[in-house]
Amino acid sequence: MPAYNEEECIEKVVESWTGYLKTKFPENETTLIVINDGSKDKTGEILNKLSLSNPHLTVVNQVNGGHGNAVVNGYRKAVALKSEYVFQTDSDDQFIADDFDKLWSKRSQSKFILGYREIRHDASVRLFITRVLRGTISAVYGTYILDSNIPFRLIEGNFLRKLLEQLPDPEPFAPNIFLAVMAKKSGQELFDIPITHKDRETGTVSIVKWNLWKVSIRSFQELLKFRIELNKKVKALRTNT
């Protein structure tokens, strides 16, 4: 779970997810890894305080590197802990923990399972960019993914490690898109399971207006460039799976 300037909701979100972990997996060792991505508000302070009394919480404080970088660092931390399964979500309180079960029930059928925001509560420009992205992935890679960048995904731990080894260098702006494309092209069934997406009640989105268009153009350029490398990456995944 990456977190940036979420002081208004981070305690509620952390308690919701760690409480869910304790209930869902009472006999298993679980942890919620929160990557505090250089928050300028009290997010880090709140997380550090919560970690003192919550054994199911692991906090990593880092210099601001952006959402994608925080996601990858969270994945790397989970892999370093030799996690059997890794689930990624966001800290903005727009998802419901109970929807995790929809993905968990499919774990024996795939190593990489995605949700998709059936009704998405985001600005119209973000919805438009998502549609364009969906079409771009279909045209460039010949594969259709409903919500390739969704922060609601379940990945088998060893498979995640192999995916991370194949991420392009330098690290892309939106790594979750690349992971989803590689997973599907390597033969995994993503399922695209409908999940609930709530209105954002606190905080503000980190990328808005013109900056959103700029990073979107950057992501599309990265995706086009990655097309040249994809076959080699997928072959490596299939060989090592």
pLDDT tens for residues 101-124? 999 999 999 999 999 998 887 777
The predicted pLDDT at position 122 comes to 72
The predicted pLDDT at position 45 comes to 98
Question: Closest by alpha carbon to 201, among 9, 1, 3?
Answer: 9
Token pair for residue 31? 């942890």
Distance CA 87, CA 78 (A): 9
Token pair for residue 9? 């909701």
Among the residues of 63-188, which ranges form H helices? 67-80, 100-104, 124-141, 157-165, 175-185
Distance CA 16, CA 14 (A): 5
The predicted pLDDT at position 239 comes to 83
Distance CA 152, CA 162 (A): 19
Mean per-residue pLDDT for 164-179? 94
- For the chain, the domain total comes to 1
Q: Lowest mean pLDDT: which of 131-135, 155-159, 206-210? A: 206-210
Q: What are phi and psi of 195, to 5 degrees?
A: -130, 165
The predicted pLDDT at position 168 comes to 92
Residue 88's Cβ-side half-sphere holds a number of Cα atoms within 13 Å equal to 30
Q: Which domain holds residue 189?
A: 2-240
Banded pLDDT at 207 (limits 50, 70, 90): very low
Name residue, tokens 């509620």: 12
Dihedral angle, C-alpha 121, 123, 177, 102, nearest 10 °: 0
* Burial category of 26 from C-beta neighbours within 10 Å (exposed 0-12, middle 13-18, buried 19 and up): exposed
The verdict on whether omega for the bond into residue 194 sits within 30 degrees of 0, i.e. cis, is: no
Region of residue 203 (left: phi > 0; alpha: psi -120 to 50; beta: else): left
Return mean pLDDT, the chain: 91
The predicted pLDDT at position 241 comes to 60
pLDDT tens for residues 216-240? 788 788 988 999 999 999 999 988 6
Token pair for residue 116? 């998709």
pLDDT tens for residues 21-59? 999 999 999 999 999 999 999 999 999 999 999 999 999
The predicted pLDDT at position 206 comes to 52
CATH number of residue 11's parent domain: 3.90.550.10
**Helix, strand or coil, per DSSP, at residue 34:** strand
What residues have CB less than 8 Å from 18, skipping those under 6 apart? Answer: 32, 54, 56, 57
Q: Looking at per-residue confidence, does 161 or 201 come out higher?
A: 161
Dihedral angle, C-alpha 45, 68, 173, 177, nearest 10 °: -160
Name residue, tokens 């997010």: 43
Mean per-residue pLDDT for 85-90? 98
